[in-house]
């Protein structure tokens, strides 16, 4: 029997997130998810008058494709998938998590795949030429990461994904954007953090359910060479199968000149994938009131209420400081009191303290469910 929650999620993704129109093609990238969820998405695409195209995938196949890969094999794979992506009007990527450590022991190969597969297919094609949304599917592994029981986590997942008023969120972000677009200097203070940079001339982009589900962030991008100081992140983050803890970066004129974590060597290997990996491609404010605790899952953690993420790697074209990289790693610092607190200043004025916006022009981002 079909789960009505899956049907509601599928309808949200098709009609709201990618806003599929009659006659448009939609690629459904289904990774380690139940057949019932894929079926719900296919039906929702047809109901919108669209044409579904399905790619079934899983983490073990992903590892097999990467483990013995070469630059040439990855380029050939990318050629095929780039061609397919260019035929699509929309992309829905939904991924379950069967084993968060599946790629942990082949870091060198996954770094290679980021450069020769992910960059042409996703960074250069999917992000720029399709209407897209990406999300996770609730699994027992995700429940374990969140410290919740399986049924309890499923209830949490569908609440923060499908019961949020994204129209109200979008309206609040549009109101905040009128002020944010005037900001020049940013100063962030927190435990082991004292960071300054400029966002002058960079637009702020509201994210209210179009490209991610769950959603709840508004992002910009630092002027590339303006970042100076140190930031320490307090949310764990898995990248290419390794769970990094206590990541800390020190910047000079935009570039990461010092990087530390529980595994310094592995961290620096990622930052050395290409020149752009040591520069920042995104700065964002997390404001989803239903997501309060980190669970080592980027698509949830970057939306945590009272958080920021400061992202080494590729910049998005809709907020572009010209930085290009195969890396785009959303690392999160939570600034609510129970995580050590923090302060954020825009043009020398305090705008957020301990995760709560105190500036009247930004109070609209103190959202509630």
pLDDT-derived band at 368, boundaries 50, 70, 90: confident
By C-alpha distance, which of 279, 287, 143, 267 is closest to 218? 287
The residue-averaged pLDDT of 52-62 equals 97
Report the alpha-carbon distance of residue 310 to residue 333 in Å, rounded. 8
- The strand pairing partners of 312, in sequence order, are 280
Q: Which residues contact 211 (CB under 8 A, 6 or more apart)?
A: 17, 132, 133, 134
Res 131: pLDDT: 98
Stated as kind and residue range, the H or E segment containing 76 is: helix 71-86
pLDDT bin (cut points 50, 70, 90) of residue 329 is very high
**Token output for 175:** 């109101």
342 against 145, higher pLDDT: 342
Residue holding tokens 């049907």? 7
Residue-level pLDDT at 278: 98
pLDDT band at 1 (very low <50, low <70, confident <90, very high): low
The stretch 269-290 carries a mean pLDDT of: 96
Q: What are phi and psi of 194, to 5 degrees?
A: -150, 100
Residue owning tokens 């035929």: 87
Name residue 327's beta-bridge partners: none
DSSP 8-state secondary structure symbol assigned to residue 316: P
> From its phi and psi, is residue 216 left (phi > 0), alpha (psi between -120 and 50) or beta?
left
Q: What is the pLDDT of residue 160?
A: 93
Mean pLDDT score, 92-108: 94
Residue closest to 59 by CA, chosen among 241, 273, 299? 241
Asked if residue 20 lies in contact with residue 42, where contact means CB atoms within 8 angstroms, the answer is no
Domain boundaries, the chain: 4-162, 166-365
Report the pLDDT value the prediction gives residue 184, as an integer from 0 to 100. Answer: 98
Q: Which of 262, 281, 275 is nearest to 202 (CA)?
A: 281
Q: Does the N-terminal peptide bond of residue 214 adopt cis geometry, omega within 30 degrees of 0?
A: yes
Rounded average pLDDT over 310-323: 96
- Give the C-alpha separation, 333 to 192, whole Å: 11
Whether pLDDT at 2 is above 90? no
Sheet containing 51-57, strands listed edge to edge, beginning at the edge strand earlier in sequence = 51-57, 25-31, 90-95, 131-136, 212-213
Do 145 and 274 touch, CB atoms closer than 8 A?
no
What number is the average pLDDT over the span 33-50?
Answer: 98
Residue 342 in this model has a pLDDT that exceeds 80: yes
**How many Å apart are CA 338 and CA 301, to the nearest integer?**
16
Fold of 4-162: Thermophilic metalloprotease-like (3.40.1830)
On the question of pLDDT at 19 being above 80, the answer is yes
Structure tokens, 92 = 């829905």
**CB under 8 Å to 182, separation ≥6 — which residues?**
none
* 80-89: b (≥16 Cβ within 10 Å) or e: ebbeebeebb
Model pTM score: 0.89
Instruction: Report yes or no: 199 and 184 within 8 Å, Cβ to Cβ.
Output: yes
DSSP element (H, E) containing 350: strand 349-353
* CA distance linking residue 283 with residue 107, whole number of Å: 26
Q: Give the pair of three-digit tokens for residue 347.
A: 């043009």
Percent of the chain with pLDDT over 70: 100
pLDDT of 194 over the 70 cut: yes
Distance CA(170)–CA(141), nearest Å, equals 31
């Amino acid at each position: 029997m079909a789960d009505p929650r899956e049907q509601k999620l599928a309808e949200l993704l098709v009609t709201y997130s990618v806003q599929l129109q009659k006659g448009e093609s939609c690629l459904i990238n289904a990774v380690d998810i139940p057949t019932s969820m894929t079926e719900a998405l296919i039906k929702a695409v047809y109901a919108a008058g669209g044409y579904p195209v399905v790619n079934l995938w899983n983490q073990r196949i992903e590892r097999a494709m990467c483990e013995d890969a070469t630059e040439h094999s990855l380029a050939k794979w990318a050629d095929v998938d780039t061609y397919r992506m260019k035929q699509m009007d929309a992309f829905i990527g939904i991924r379950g998590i069967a084993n968060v450590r599946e790629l942990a022991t082949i870091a060198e190969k996954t770094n290679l795949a980021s450069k020769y597969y992910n960059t042409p297919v996703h960074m250069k094609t999917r992000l720029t030429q399709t209407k897209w949304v990406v999300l996770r599917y609730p699994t027992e592994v995700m429940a374990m990461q969140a410290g919740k029981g399986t049924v309890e986590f499923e209830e949490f997942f569908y609440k923060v994904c499908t019961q949020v008023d994204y129209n109200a969120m979008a309206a609040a972000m549009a109101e905040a954007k009128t002020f944010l677009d005037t900001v020049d200097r940013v100063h962030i203070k927190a435990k082991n953090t004292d960071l300054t940079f400029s966002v002058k001339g960079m637009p702020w982009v509201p994210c209210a359910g179009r490209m991610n589900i769950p959603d709840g962030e508004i992002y910009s991008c630092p002027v590339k060479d303006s970042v100076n100081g140190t930031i320490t992140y307090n949310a764990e983050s898995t990248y290419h199968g390794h769970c990094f803890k206590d990541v800390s970066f020190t910047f000079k004129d935009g570039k990461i000149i010092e990087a530390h974590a529980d595994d310094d060597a592995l961290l620096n290997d990622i930052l050395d994938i290409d020149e752009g990996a040591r520069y920042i491609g995104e700065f964002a404010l997390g404001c989803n009131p239903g997501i309060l605790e980190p669970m080592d899952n980027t698509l949830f953690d970057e939306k945590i209420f009272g958080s920021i993420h400061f992202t080494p790697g590729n910049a998005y074209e809709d907020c572009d400081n010209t930085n290009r990289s195969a890396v785009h790693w959303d690392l999160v610092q939570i600034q609510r009191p129970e995580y050590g607190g923090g302060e954020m200043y825009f043009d020398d004025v305090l705008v957020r303290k301990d995760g709560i916006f105190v500036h009247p022009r930004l109070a609209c981002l103190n959202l509630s469910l």
